[in-house]
Chain A
């Protein structure tokens, strides 16, 4: 599947239709999301006062964003003192240029990467390749989709859409001999063997960052496989790219952040490795990188501060909202045309990359509210989805038929008299289209669907007549 950098109404409708018809994909999506959901519930149930902790975390995130400039400056100061080099990037291209400059200075040809959504956001791999630098993704899921030439389909499990047969096929091609699909341990061992040499040969390691702690100038990475540790320990140079919203004031707040992150993401009490990096290797350290660069990426985030959309910056990218979303669970991640899919993607993608290019996303929701319930920061995603829909109407981004239909509905529903009049008119007008199983209108209301016809007597009239218990 190609990687469109947009999701217009027709694109989304098309990719979602294809995804829904793909039985293998549907099975993979159901299996993965159910597993994540159950894990999350079990992990949070085991934690005393999990809901109070989420309320507490919401306050931390909100207060941090209210004073984001202060905490960013503090982080810069403390990280610099520890020996890290801080870079600021307004746009994705700025961040890419900073990375390329550092890579050139060190004559780097091979880069190992740990999973980072931000590097997907700025299309870093394509830029590295265009400049003769080979990026190797080392998170198993990311490596699978890199081999397949696909974008990630889930924030936490980038390759959840792939079956083990598809993975075995990709790996077999890579090692040049057939690998059995049923031996997942064997497939994992092959990945370990192949990637180990890359880890030790790479001149540069690139990571994202789960949070950056201002108090001590520390970057925190959370992984399970150990690739995050390798990428940040083995090569002589480490570059981390992190969104400016991922600042955490201090270690007390970080404890709350970490207590909720893994539980919400994978249902683990804590991920296997939580790595806190405070500068490059010190004078007598036996190993570790000689240089640590941290790129603070804006790419549209600071424009959201102080607006009704600021709340979206509270997101810690745990992916819990994807797993509970009825639209994501059917359409899959690729339909969103963005590294950020599901409810968080439906809000943050149009805000960062353009409402017009991603006009379908605010509509790709039933507004059921399951995302808000699942969010560790209790982000009100449905509120912002509705607000974006209003923005779309104001910007005339909806198809004109839909807009006219909604304007008409607003007109009719606005006054009781009008409503009564049009209901009567409708009962009379529907006659030629009435069949036993509902209305058969000459316009498409969705494949295989019919509208119910208007009742002979409206409910309100039955109520007035006392015919309703």
Chain B
């Protein structure tokens, strides 16, 4: 018998009737999802901005890029990023075009711009997916990750998200809840170990 069948046979011999409990219902009730999101993410050194229009989100994004004197920026091809006004002094890499050079570009980029499919208020988490035009390295290799997230993407927590999503998964789905960090040296927090040092979320209405 092959290893697979041996393992499964052994387990089948001792299996018993026991059913899963019904799914846990979220017992959270935040008066304002955005406020909770901001509180949770800033508590772990993430940065949250809230603006009342997409135009304001674009302005803020470009203002942040200027402030950090970014020269190379990688941009995912996902709504609302294609319409972000480009700044003249910045070299952009648009994901989905020339993907052969994407990796090298990401490794030397100053910032990566993405959107997010959903966000969890409870834990200050944004949910990113892979797919055409959506790079996983764009939110990982550059020292700064800026996510433009519509406020309507907010849901309460993991439970409300799990109850609502359609089970169609991309190859890669990431729950991101702050800047990369470690506490492996004397339990002292240090940010920006392997991933971004700065994680900036712009929530727009």
Residues of A within 8 A of B (CB): 28, 31-32, 35, 48-49, 53, 56, 59-60, 62-64, 66-70, 72-73, 82-83, 88-90, 94, 138-141, 144, 157-160, 162-164, 167, 184-185, 187-189, 191-192, 195-196, 199-200, 215-216, 218, 224-227, 229-230, 232-234, 244, 249, 251-256, 258-259, 266, 268-282, 284-288, 296, 298, 302-303, 305-306
- A227→B182 CA distance, assembly (Å): 11
Chain A nearest Cβ from B64, distance in angstroms = 21
A94 and B177 alpha carbons, distance in the complex (Å): 37
B 126-169 contacts with A by CB, 8 A? 130-137, 140, 157-159, 161-163, 165, 167, 169
Given contacts A230-B195, A285-B172, 14 further A-B contacts (CB under 8 A): A88-B7, A162-B185, A184-B186, A225-B194, A225-B195, A233-B136, A249-B20, A255-B158, A270-B123, A274-B177, A278-B171, A278-B173, A285-B171, A286-B132
Decide yes or no: A60 and B20 within 8 Å by CB, A90-B7, A229-B140, A251-B162 being known contacts: yes
Contacts A63-B19, A88-B4, A188-B182 given; does A275 touch B173 at CB 8 Å: yes
Question: In the bound complex, do residue A288 and residue B130 qualify as a contact, i.e. CB atoms below 8 Å apart?
Answer: yes
A278 to chain B, nearest CB (A): 4
Q: How far is the CA of A200 from the CA of B163 in the complex (A)?
A: 37
Closest B residue by C-beta to A304: B14
Q: Could you pull out 25 A-B pairs where Cβ atoms are within 8 angstroms?
A: A48-B27, A48-B28, A53-B24, A56-B24, A67-B16, A140-B182, A184-B185, A225-B180, A225-B194, A226-B194, A230-B194, A233-B136, A253-B23, A268-B177, A270-B125, A270-B175, A272-B44, A275-B174, A278-B172, A281-B130, A281-B171, A284-B131, A285-B134, A288-B172, A306-B16
In the complex, what residues of A have CB within 8 A of residue B157's CB?
255, 259
Min C-beta distance of B189 to chain A, whole Å: 9
Min CB distance B76 to A, Å, is 9
Q: Decide: A226 and B3 in contact? CB cutoff 8 A.
A: no
Q: Total interface residues on B, using CB and 8 Å?
A: 78
Shortest Cβ gap from B116 to chain A (Å): 14
Given A233-B136, A305-B14, A188:B185 Cβ within 8 A: yes
With A63-B19, A66-B18, A69-B11: A272-B24 Cβ-Cβ less than 8 Å: no
User: Inside 8 A of A90's CB, which chain B residues have their CB?
Assistant: 3, 6-7
Q: Name the one of B13, B40, B107 contacting A269, with C-beta atoms under 8 angstroms.
A: B40
Q: Are A157 and B187 in contact (CB under 8 A)?
A: yes
Is there an interface contact between A28 and B186, defined as CB atoms closer than 8 Å?
yes
Please name all residues of chain A whose beta carbon is closer than 8 Å to the beta carbon of B182 when the two chains form the complex: 140-141, 188, 224-225
Q: Are B27 and A277 in contact (CB under 8 A)?
A: no
Majority DSSP secondary structure for residues of B touching A: loop
Contacts A73-B8, A269-B122, A277-B171: A286 and B3 contacting too (C-beta < 8 A)? no
B137 in contact with A233 (CB, 8 Å):
yes
> Chain B nearest CB: distance from A283 CB in Å?
8
Q: Knowing A31-B187, A259-B159, A287-B99 are in contact, say whether A272-B178 is a contact too (CB < 8 A).
A: yes
Task: State whether B11 touches A272 (Cβ < 8 A).
Answer: no
Contacts of B167 in A (CB 8 A): 215-216, 251
Q: How far is the CB of B114 from chain A (nearest CB, A)?
A: 12
In the bound complex, residues from chain A placing their C-beta under 8 Å from that of B80 are none
Which residues on B sit within 8 Å (CB–CB) of A302? Answer: 7, 10-11
> Are B23 and A252 touching (Cβ within 8 A)?
yes
Q: Is B95 in the interface zone, CB < 8 Å from A? A: yes
Chain B residue numbers with a CB within 8 Å of A233 are 136-137, 140, 172
List the 9 closest pairs (A to B, CB-CB), nearest first. A226-B195, A306-B14, A252-B23, A141-B184, A284-B132, A66-B18, A69-B11, A274-B175, A225-B193
CB-CB < 8 A to B3: which residues of A?
88-90, 94, 298
B10 touches A305 (CB 8 A): yes
Contacts of B134 in A (CB 8 A): 285-286
CB B188 to nearest CB in A, in angstroms, measures: 5
Output the residue of A162, A270, A298 with the most chain B CB within 10 A.
A270
What CA separation (Å) do A302 and B14 show in the bound complex? 10
A251 and B24 alpha carbons, distance in the complex (Å): 11
A278 touches B184 (CB 8 A): no
> How far is the CB of A37 from the nearest CB of chain B, in Å?
12
Most A CB contacts (10 A, CB to CB) among B124, B176, B184 go to: B184
Cβ contacts under 8 Å, B54 to chain A:
none
- Are the C-beta atoms of A184 and B190 separated by less than 8 Å? yes
Instruction: Assess the B194–A282 pair: CB atoms within 8 A.
Output: no
Nearest chain B residue, comparing its CB with the CB of A141: B184
Tell me, in angstroms, the Cα distance from A249 to B23 when the chains sit together: 11
Q: Are B2 and A88 in contact (CB under 8 A)?
A: yes
CB distance from B18 to the nearest CB of A (A): 4
Question: Quick check: is B192 within 8 A (CB to CB) of the other chain?
Answer: yes
| 8 A Cβ contacts from B20-44 to A | 20-21, 23-24, 27-28, 40, 44
Of the candidates B7, B137, B181, the one having the most CB atoms from chain A within 10 angstroms of its own CB is B7
Q: Are B132 and A255 in contact (CB under 8 A)?
A: no
Kindly identify which residue among A49, A271, A303 contacts B10, using a CB–CB cutoff of 8 Å: A303
Q: A164 and B193: CB pair below 8 A?
A: no
Q: How far is it, in angstroms, between the C-alpha of A100 and the C-alpha of B14 when the chains are bound?
A: 33
In the complex, the answer to whether A285 meets B132 with C-beta atoms within 8 Å is yes
In the complex, A273 Cα to B128 Cα: how many Å? 11
CA distance in complex: A162, B11 (Å): 41
- Cβ of B79 under 8 Å from chain A: no
Are the CB atoms of A255 and B8 closer together than 8 Å?
Answer: no
Q: Which residues of A are found within 8 Å of B107, using beta-carbon distances?
A: 196, 200
Contacts of A62 in B (CB 8 A): 18
CB closest chain-B residue, reference A140: B184
Once the chains bind, are A49 and B194 in contact (CB under 8 Å)?
no
CB < 8 Å: which of B159, B187, B192 contacts A255? B159
- With a cutoff of 8 Å between Cβ atoms, the chain A residues found around residue B112 in the complex are none
Q: List A contacts of B184 (CB < 8 A).
A: 139-141, 144, 157-159
